A and B are shown apart, each in its own frame.
Chain A
């Protein structure tokens, strides 16, 4: 079986996945997609039986996946899953519709609407960009004065979606950590706590959070797998919080990074992910 791992920024994860694929007996190659040109629609046999999409740029990843799928190539994750996960609003809708517990979330289409939504949620609340990752521009809004300043800053952004529209979410009181589960199909490959560094409320590894192995109970396992199914399934990073009121899933990541998790668990994460890729390609 020929596997192509597409990337636009080669990280430890992509190299580990390629090594794991080689060890599993797959004919694996890494392809930097940045210089490629595609014609619509044309077969691309060089991508082999299955592509593991690992581009770091959402828009590049999305267009490339659409192009490859249009050329008859199986891509993991599919374009539908990528679209749902790369837009926080789409993720929230998918989770809520599937009955997955998730923080209360409001959409406002203007700054006036944002002020009204803020009153509905109450302060503090969390404001997030629709697209993006690693906790970038995720802000706790503690009062109206902060909201007004943030709205002024947002008006200066070039992206119309982020400039004029608002994703607001309840502020969940939780321990200074969250849960990251790496899922492949119907299996939880690894689960860790991500512990926020001192002076930081966000729990992203990119912000300095440290991972510690964590064994989910049966309730959490069920919620994690339900969340993964809600966005369409595949190789995913499901993020959850554990307030006193019960588990809440706040994000599902389409191109999951697992270097932090791998440092905390004995499971060979890339080997497990590659096993899922090979099984999916055979179906």
Chain B
């Protein structure tokens, strides 16, 4: 599934077996996205959450 990076405009390829919630990164600018929706082969991305100070194991 192909889309483009909202930050730098580079082509962004999302693996065909991706599921909602999965993270993808732009190879050009490293902006991180989360798969928000997949329908009819189209993928909708939203900006991934930034690391919080309470994140961890």
Contacts and interface: CB of A to CB of B under 8 A. Distances in A.
B55 A58 contact: yes
A30 interface: yes
B55 A133 contact: yes
Interface in A123-146: 129, 131-134, 136
B29 to A, nearest CB: 20
Contacts of B52: 57
B41 to A, nearest CB: 20
Closest 7 A-B residue pairs measured CB to CB? A133-B56, A253-B57, A58-B54, A10-B21, A32-B21, A133-B57, A10-B22
Determine the main DSSP class of B at the interface with A.
loop
Given A10-B23, A30-B19, A32-B20, A129 B49 contact: no
Interface in A1-17: 7-10, 15
| Interface footprint category on B | 10 to 19
Interface residues of A, number: 27
Interface stretch (A112-120, A217-225, A254-262): A254-262
Given A30-B21, A32-B20, A8 B54 contact: no
A256 B57 contact: yes
Nearest to A137: B53
